[in-house]
Amino acid sequence: MLQRLILSSFRNYSHAELTLGAGVNLVVGGNGSGKSSLLEAIYLMGTGRSFRTSRLQRLVNEAAGEAAVYAEVLSQQDVLHKIGMSRDRQGFTALKMDGANVRGLSELARLLPVQAFHPGTVDVVEGPSSARRRYLDWGLFHVEQSFLPLWRQLSGALQQRNKLLRAGGFNARELAAWDQQVASVSDRINGLRTRYLADLLPHFDAVLAHIGELPEVRISLYPGWAEGEDLLALLAQDLERDRQRGYTGKGAHRAELRLSTGAGPVRDVFSRGQTKTLSYALLLAQLYLLVRSHGGRCLVLVDDLASELDEQHSDAVIRALQELGQQTLITALSADALPALARDDATRVFHVEHGVLNRLE
Ligand SMILES: Nc1ncnc2c1ncn2[C@@H]1O[C@H](COP(=O)(O)OP(=O)(O)OP(=O)(O)O)[C@@H](O)[C@H]1O
């Protein structure tokens, strides 16, 4: 759980501090006031990334040379951790947890699982296959401890194999050893993904039933090579092609979630609004699986819901999130913009204007 956050020279904030509630935190303010930027800073604490830009120098306030974000996070074991990140215009990023350098972003993700619903969420349906792979792997990472080491093993084996392919006159025995690794680790990752998807589907169906009014969607997993075929044999078969393109064309790194309706792929059939609703439903299903089936926790960020979904669907998402009972930050133009949001004594409301943040309730 995120308890405290301090921003310095981050986007349009010169300095802001807030103490968050364990339940719903509503952030209200006009257009361009700094609501999304606040969520972006929090997302950064849990992922090391922004959900809006890959150019982190954009986060540095225009009038400053360096942006800094500091967060106090209570782990699931109730241990308080302090995370600090700073970024200058030259591209140097310092990332520390409890005074020591963070070695990998997975360290942050373990401590602060965070999921963001924002205008870019639609990428999970409309974006490239990598967006759906990331989606699937986000879920796996948080529920299956063995996923990360396997993923690292696969990346290492692919790196070595691709290096050999590009080197030209390679040693066939060395290549065979990497083929073996790529194939066996891909099989294991595919097994985890298959099981994860089977666990996810009932939650997805429940979410769709709750949100309503979407045509039936079928979700299937493409493993990254022709299903049922032996990857090791395929790697040998494709060797010349892989050598020409300089990378490995088949394996778990090319997996994909396929979304279709009776009438064809969702991308060709759904309206823009239906696509957005489906993308939110996919993320909700993942949260339900994490929280309800695995007892996990997740900080949920919801940006600009009212401008993304119509009232009926946005109300349904709010109700689904409230049922989930996780720490949540929701942005809105005004405190009464989300009538479905049930507020209680624990709800905190913050107002932001020109990067100045104040607590209202
Ligand atoms: N690096 C930066 N330095 C200073 N200001 C910035 C920087 N990057 C963005 N801004 C400004 O920060 C302001 C806040 O943007 P943000 O997207 O957080 O607003 P918002 O409250 O979410 O608005 P909306 O309701 O329109 O989505 C904008 O006016 C934007 O132009």
Residue from 28, 36, 88 to probe ligand 1 pocket by mutation (most atoms less than 8 Å from CB): 36
Nearest CA to ligand 1 atom 19: 32
Identify the pLDDT of residue 336. 87
pTM, two decimal places: 0.96
User: For residue 2, how far is its CA from the centre of ligand 1 (angstroms)?
Assistant: 22
8 has binding-site annotation: no
The span from the CA of 344 to the CA of 290, in Å, is: 25
Identify the pLDDT of residue 92. 83
Identify the pLDDT of residue 346. 87
Nearest 5 degrees, angle CA 294-CA 313-CA 43?
A: 50
82 has binding-site annotation: no
Range 215-226 average pLDDT: 96
Asked if residue 212 has pLDDT above 80, the reply is no
Q: Give the number of the atom of ligand 1 that is nearest the alpha carbon of residue 303.
A: 22
* Nearest partner of 38 among 76, 83, 7, 61, judged by Cα: 7
34 has binding-site annotation: yes
Q: Give the number of the atom of ligand 1 that is nearest the alpha carbon of residue 52.
A: 17
Within 6 A (CB) of ligand 1 lie: 11-12, 29, 31-37, 58, 60-62, 304
Range 170-187 average pLDDT: 94
Indicate the average pLDDT of the chain.
95
Asked if residue 223 has pLDDT above 90, the reply is yes
Asked if residue 169 has pLDDT above 80, the reply is no
Identify the pLDDT of residue 311. 92
Range 44-59 average pLDDT: 93
168 has binding-site annotation: no
The span from the CA of 23 to the CA of 347, in Å, is: 6
pLDDT, tens digit, 9 for 90 and up, residues 86-106: 999 988 889 999 999 999 999
57 vs 155, higher pLDDT: 155
Domain 120-296 has CATH 1.10.340.30: no
Asked if residue 73 has pLDDT above 80, the reply is yes
Contact 5, 41 (CB under 8 A): yes
Q: 1-113+297-361: which CATH topology? A: Rossmann fold (3.40.50)
Place of tokens 């956050």: 5
Identify the pLDDT of residue 108. 94
With pLDDT > 70 as the criterion, what percentage of the chain qualifies?
100
Nearest CA to ligand 1 atom 5: 12
Asked if residue 343 has pLDDT above 90, the reply is no
Identify the pLDDT of residue 40. 97
Identify the pLDDT of residue 93. 87
29 has binding-site annotation: yes
Q: Give the number of the atom of ligand 1 that is nearest the alpha carbon of residue 67.
A: 1
* Nearest partner of 337 among 318, 356, 360, 358, judged by Cα: 318
Q: Are strands 356-359 and 348-353 parallel, antiparallel or unpaired?
A: antiparallel
Other CB atoms closer than 10 Å to residue 148's CB: what's the count?
16
Confidence band for 163, pLDDT divided at 50, 70 and 90? very high
Range 146-171 average pLDDT: 94
H/E element holding 3?
strand 2-10
Identify the pLDDT of residue 278. 97
Break the chain into its structural domains and give their ranges.
1-113+297-361, 120-296
Contact 15, 357 (CB under 8 A): no
- The two tokens of residue 31 are 């257009």
Asked if residue 33 has pLDDT above 80, the reply is yes
The span from the CA of 194 to the CA of 3, in Å, is: 36
Residue from 7, 14, 27, 33 to probe ligand 1 pocket by mutation (most atoms less than 8 Å from CB): 33
Position 255, amino acid: A
Confidence band for 140, pLDDT divided at 50, 70 and 90? very high
Confidence band for 361, pLDDT divided at 50, 70 and 90? confident
Rg (C-alpha) for the chain, rounded Å, is: 22
Range 338-345 average pLDDT: 88
Identify the pLDDT of residue 96. 96
Identify the pLDDT of residue 153. 98
Q: Give the number of the atom of ligand 1 that is nearest the alpha carbon of residue 64.
A: 3
